[in-house]
Amino acid sequence: MANAAEVNADMLSFWNGAGGNIWVERQAHTDITLQPVTDALLAFAAPQPGERVLDVGCGCGAVTLDMARAVGPEGSVVGIDISGPMLAEGRRRSDAAGIVHVDWRQEDAASAQFGPFDLVVSAFGTMFFGDPVAAFSHIRAATAPGGRLAMVCWAPLGENQWMEVPMDAVRPHIPPRPSGAPNSPGMFAFADPAYAAEVLAAAGWRTPRFEKLSLDLDIAAGRGLAEAVAQSTLIGAVNSWLRPQSDEVKAAATASIRAALAGHAAGDSVPLPCACWLIGSEA
């Protein structure tokens, strides 16, 4: 297993290169698909006017801007991410909306100097820490007494068919994938609530609460089957699997994904089940 420094270096390279750029290109689509999840996180976090908020792994800023609107100009939001391209998109969006009380920072939340915060939020941005206990300890130290943590993380793959269906379609076309170590950094790092609770406790947070969020995600974003196929192949795990493959393999795998998703299409939508954990705690 890679050590924490290697994990962080890989993440930095990916999110500041092709990975970050393609996420910016696909952000409008992704925002539509994930809107039900980000709405649930907003309600779960319950930001209040005047609060100071940190958004960890803010990406292109969908949640950051939701928080900024909720706390109002008397509050403040720091959106922190390691991806320069995604932060640039976040700044563009806040400028276009006339939202000036957001500080966009290209830093690692595990080591940045910031705070104090009344609320720390994250939408799928905390599962990639090379040393999660150290990272959450650092973030807790920057949280005001009684401050809150509210984040959303993926439940197990088997409960997320919007990912599993394309992945299963690709597997016959590529060499066998190695099994990842349980709880290792990645999309499903906190799929096990017992492990997530253990990490937060070791980092000094109070006993967390968990709420299961189960719903269907429209991976086509209402734009038709072709867009669902593009979203499935251009970002996420399937993209990482296909990048090193030949053009012939990519074409065959993409055809298989299209056939698999076609069976779930409903008009211009392709809804598939997803499951997340909403995780809350206090400093």
Q: What is the CATH number of the domain that holds 102?
A: 3.40.50.150
In whole angstroms, what is the distance from residue 32 CA to residue 54 CA? 23
Query: Which residues are paired to 53 by β-bridges?
Result: 77, 119
Convert the pLDDT of each residue in 68-90 to its tens digit: 999 999 999 999 999 999 999 99
Looking at residue 67, its amino acid is M
140-177, pLDDT tens digit by residue? 999 999 999 999 999 999 999 999 999 999 999 999 98
Report the half-sphere exposure of 64 (CA within 13 A, side-chain side): 32
Residue 44 lies in a domain: yes
Asked whether residue 257 is assigned to any structural domain, the reply reads no
Number of domains in the chain: 1
Q: Which of 277, 5, 281 is nearest to 123 (CA)?
A: 277
Of 2-11, 99-108, 170-179, the range with the highest mean pLDDT is: 99-108
Q: What is the residue range of 93's domain?
A: 4-159+181-220+273-282
Report yes or no on 117 lying in a domain.
yes
Asked whether residue 99 is domain-assigned, the answer is: yes
In a domain, 242, yes or no: no
Contacts of residue 96, defined as CB under 8 A and 6 or more positions apart, other chains included, come to: none
Q: Do the domain assignments include residue 128?
A: yes
| pLDDT single digits (tens) 20-58 | 788 899 999 999 999 999 999 999 999 999 999 999 999
Indicate the pLDDT class of residue 192, thresholds 50, 70 and 90: very high
pLDDT digits (tens, 9 = 90+) for 217-236: 999 999 999 999 999 999 98
pLDDT band at 3 (very low <50, low <70, confident <90, very high): low
Statement: residue 102 has pLDDT above 70: yes
| Rounded Cα distance, 20 and 14, in Å | 7
Measure the CA–CA gap between 194 and 188, rounded to whole angstroms: 13
**Position 94 in a domain:** yes
